[in-house]
Structure 1
């Protein structure tokens, strides 16, 4: 399995779908399904049945997963593609637009 180009905590911009143009912080990355959950992006409504934990039930909103191909990493306020480079014996991410080492 290849290394993921986007990691938890990164700031990303949505490049496709209903939330195109929005930016947010990555809350979770699912390597198996190649999906990410981005803060306040792709909000969906969930109808909750009353239970012991939630007496009232009701409707709540939460973030749903986006495919990783629909987001781009934002470096210095600019969306960029990501590449990899060897820094000594360590593999690091590099912004294609600027050539800047990300981590």
Structure 2
């Protein structure tokens, strides 16, 4: 298993590419391809065929993935940090 510097829920900034400088929260990390989905960043358009669920079809916009090497950690939620400290404290006893 690979260990990454970013995790689901972290706030990150894109440091290179066409989306450089944009910030957002990580929605999902794809460990097999070293990529992440960031909320509101790298939006792509998909043409959707009409179905019973979506009778109109049309063009749908969603987030695209960005390689993890192009991300910089801005802020990690406090809950994740305290859980890690608690685990470390239990291991030292």
Shift of 1:43: 0.3
In the alignment, structure 1 residue 70 sits paired with structure 2 residue 58: no
User: For 2:71 and 2:5, how far apart are their aligned partners in 1?
Assistant: 11
Do 2:2 and 2:31's aligned partners in 1 also have CA atoms closer than 8 Å?
Answer: no
User: For 2:11 and 2:39, how far apart are their aligned partners in 1?
Assistant: 10
Correspondences of 1:15-94 after superposition (within 5 Å): 15-75=15-75, 87-88=88-89, 89=91
Q: TM-score, normalised by structure 1?
A: 0.71
Determine helix, strand or coil for the equivalent of 1:60.
strand
Q: How big is the alpha-carbon RMSD for the aligned residues of Structure 1 and Structure 2?
A: 1.7
**1:23-55 deviation per Cα after TM superposition (whole angstroms, max 9, x unaligned):** 000000011111100000000001011111110
Higher relative CO (Cα under 8 Å, sequence separation at least 6) belongs to 2
Q: Unaligned 5+ residue runs, structure 2?
A: 77-87
Q: TM-score, normalised by structure 2?
A: 0.79
Shift of 1:17: 1.0
User: For 1:47 and 1:36, how far apart are their aligned partners in 2?
Assistant: 22
Structure number with higher helix proportion:
2
